[in-house]
Amino acid sequence: MDFGLSEDQQLLKATVARFLAEQCPTTRVREVMESDTGHDAQLWAGLVELGIASLPVPEEYGGLGSEFLDLSLVAEELGYAATPGPFLGAAMAVIGLVAGDAQELKARWLPETASGGSLGTVAIGEAESVWDPSGLKTSVSDGKLTGRKPLVPYAAVSDFILVGAREGEESGLWLVEAGASGMQIEPLSGNDMTRRLDDVVFNATPAVRVGGPDALARCLDAGLILISADAFGGARRVLEMTRDYSLEREQFGQPIGAFQSYKHQLADIAAEVEPCMALYWYAAHTVDAFPEQTAKHAALAKIRLGEMFNRVAFQCTELHGGIGFTWEYDLQLWFRRALFDKGFLGEAALHCDRVAEMAGW
């Protein structure tokens, strides 16, 4: 019985954390944030060198074939550091490819994603917050894909996009290469400038089938867990920042953290954040250990952590007083990332409905 991290996992987590502390301070985050693409090739290359792009790629394709929890721990640390860049979409694309049955596509793209030579992303959600595969309207016929995907991370800098669509009645994933005909990419103005979103329209765009409903479901579930891990990392950081600030900032002749009202609010926040770690850990663990439970636990993690991160980021900003409301103060980075984690891959109510239906309620 060991519901904890192995030594290798602790080492991986610490290595990523140390790299980000050195290479991705908030000054760097802000530089990338204010750049055109929001993607820092050098930072990404550094992360690839640490092995994060290899983790989800099976060994036969030049990857590490790690447990999914490993990748989730990386997501937590990326969230902790407010790391800008394409990690989430890229990881989901790899997981979709691996879960599919298109051997040629695997051989073509997986080794390159593992080595950092190629970057993938995913285009699943559709207008009116449709994220459940059953509601997708984007369709494929004769190898041509048509539809609109209003929230696609980093479409502009990706080499390929895995698109959730349907052919006839069956949903699945299809791969579209960058620059394919009939594809239009329009950048969106997002709250979280560290993770860019594009609106993508496909009009009879050539697409190759990656896999069926199962591959699409696994890709989505993985995304829900990774976004939950990101939210946990962000919440942990925001809590730490607020604790530190409360010891430093004095009003009425004492550190504000000595006031009981402040202490009680922070204690409640800690009591809300802390158990969420176990929620995302378990969801991640099911991917390898109990895959039949993943759909439910991935949804529960997203429901809880997406909302928790927003509540905590909001309260911690408020607890900072005026300075928290400035652009210059770094807390805003996580406040805005929380809004990405809340919305992307679907809101809590959608996933509550899904869990209720799974339970037969």
Name the site residues for another protein (rule: CB under 8 A): 1-6, 67, 69, 243, 246-247, 254-255, 257-258, 260, 262-264, 266-268, 270-272, 274-279, 281-282, 285, 289, 297, 300-301, 303-304, 307, 348-349, 351-353, 355-356, 361
Q: How far apart are alpha carbons 169 and 333 in whole angstroms?
A: 42
User: What's the min distance (Å) between Cβ of 307 and another protein?
Assistant: 8
Q: What are phi and psi of 342, to 5 degrees?
A: -70, -50
Query: Which CB atom, from 103 or from 261, has the smaller least distance to another protein?
Result: 261
DSSP string over 65-79? ---HHHHHHHHHHHH
Q: Are 147 and 132 in contact (CB under 8 A)?
A: no
Of 173 and 229, CB closest to another protein: 229
Per the listing, tokens 């993607």 go with 39
Is 101 or 274 the residue whose CB approaches another protein more closely? 274
Shortest Å, Cβ 294 to another protein: 13
Q: In the complex, what is the shortest distance from the CB of residue 242 to another protein, in angstroms, rounded to a whole number?
A: 9
* Residues 226 and 298: beta-carbon distance below 8 Å: no
**Cβ of residue 79: shortest distance to another protein, in angstroms?**
17
**Smallest gap, in angstroms, from Cβ of residue 324 to another protein?**
18
Closer CB to another protein, residue 148 or residue 243?
A: 243
CB < 8 Å & 24+ apart, contacts of 46-49: 46/19, 47/16, 47/19, 47/83, 47/85, 47/87, 48/115, 48/116, 49/116
How far apart are alpha carbons 94 and 213 in whole angstroms?
16
The token duo for 52 is: 């994060």
CB-nearer residue toward another protein: 6 or 141: 6
